[in-house]
Amino acid sequence: MLGLRRWLGLGLAALALSACGQTPLPGKPALWRIDGPHGERGWLFGTIHMLPRPVDWRTPQVSAALDQSDRLVVEIAALNDDSAGARIFAKLAHGAPQPPLTSRIPPALQPALAKLLQRSGIPPAQFADVKTWAAALMLAQVAQSSGDGGAEAKWGVDRALLRDIGGKPVAELEGTERQLALFDSLSEAEQRALLANVVSGADNAIGDSRKLAEEWRKGDIASIARETHQGMLADPGLRQVLYVQRNRAWVGAIAGQLAAGAHPFVAVGAAHMAGEDGLPTLLAARGFTVTRIE
């Protein structure tokens, strides 16, 4: 993947933590306009789900697009309902008794796992019935969020849009349960690869978060596109399940809304906008004109 920690920021909305505020940095993240042959009109906005500090991302272009849209389309409509998200996670994360967490990673990563567990404050016994993908997500949050400069969900753009959308309707492309079910569908070998990826990169997670935030803040989609071919997403099977198939399904839903006369403001993780498998390219292949306007 992007490194699972980075995917939590750019591509996966389901899990998040909260924090207090700071002075916002200026931002100019990527925004596209969608035009169809019959007057269809919509927008694509690449978001970030977690940030190490707040960013003033609501530029005049973004504000104008929001004003002209008739609905907000996000990955998860109930993203701000943390208790509901936690219940869904718990339902999917727990199952039959699992092997000890230490036996689910290579021996060479044992010291790094011990260090990460100490940072988390979670007793190893608590993972006794936690599936490997869920353990990976839990520890990825710890790695990315804990410590000075860690990323926080409170400043995530999706959450802000959902809080401030006013009376406009909100539609979701996936939902928490469907999003987490993608991980639950992975083979145990793939889940263990995710866990190993989190543990091996935990010491660099804060720096990765800062780099990611800068790429997003500046609208550097070229750098984000390169990330979608690295790490775990270099694995063809994982890339298909966690990235390509999702984007193709989302494009069908977006195209359907446009064809029905809606003017959606589509706000999803910026990784989903990047490269040959990104939403702008896939929509263009369906006959829409997709123009980057910021």
Q: Assign residue 274 a region: left if phi > 0, alpha if psi is -120 to 50, beta otherwise?
A: beta
Q: 201 phi and psi, to 5 degrees?
A: -105, 10
Residue 62 exposed, middle or buried by CB count within 10 Å (0-12, 13-18, 19+): buried
At 16, the pLDDT band (50, 70, 90 cuts) reads: very low
Structure confidence at residue 18 as a pLDDT band (50, 70, 90): very low
Give me the mean pLDDT over the 196-203 stretch. 86
pTM for the full predicted model: 0.86
Position with higher pLDDT, 215 vs 23: 215
pLDDT of residue 14: 54
pLDDT digits (tens, 9 = 90+) for 206-246: 787 788 889 999 999 998 888 777 666 777 777 888 888 99
- Beta-strand relationship, 31-35 and 41-47: antiparallel
Q: For residues 215 and 208, what is the distance between their CA atoms, to the nearest angstrom? A: 11
- Going by the DSSP 8-state scheme, the letter that residue 287 receives in this structure is T
- CA–CA separation, 267 and 220 (whole Å): 17
With contact defined as beta carbons under 8 Å apart, do 27 and 55 qualify? yes
What does the pLDDT read at residue 20?
A: 45
Cα distance between the two ends of the chain: 27
68-81: average pLDDT: 93
Q: Which of 7-21, 70-84, 87-101, 189-203 has the lowest mean pLDDT?
A: 7-21
Q: How does 195-207 read in b/e, with b if 16+ C-beta sit within 10 Å? A: bbbbbbbbeebbe
Stretch 57-81: mean pLDDT = 94
Q: What is the mean pLDDT of residues 78-97?
A: 92
Q: What is the mean pLDDT of residues 100-124?
A: 94
pLDDT of residue 6: 43
**Confidence band for 147, pLDDT divided at 50, 70 and 90:** low
pLDDT category at 165 given cuts 50, 70, 90 is: confident
Residue (of 74, 72, 21) closest to 51 by Cα position = 21
Residue 2 has pLDDT above 50, yes or no: no
pLDDT in tens, 151-163: 677 888 999 999 9
Contact 51, 155 (CB under 8 A): yes
pLDDT for 13 equals: 54
What pLDDT is stored for residue 149 in this prediction? 56
Tokens 């596109």 belong to 225
User: CB atoms < 10 A from the CB of 115, how many?
Assistant: 13
- CA dihedral angle for residue 57, residue 58, residue 59, residue 62, rounded to 10 degrees: 110
The number of angstroms, rounded, from the C-alpha of 37 to the middle of its chain's C-alpha atoms is 31
* pLDDT per position as a tens digit, 125-141: 999 999 999 999 999 88
* pLDDT bucket at 1, cuts 50 / 70 / 90: very low
Mean pLDDT of the chain: 87
Q: Rounded to an integer, what distance in angstroms lies between the CA atom of residue 141 and that of residue 114?
A: 16
**pLDDT confidence tier of residue 7, bands split at 50, 70 and 90:** very low
CB 86 within 8 A of CB 176: no
User: How large is the average pLDDT for residues 9-24?
Assistant: 53
Q: Which two tokens stand for residue 228?
A: 């979608």
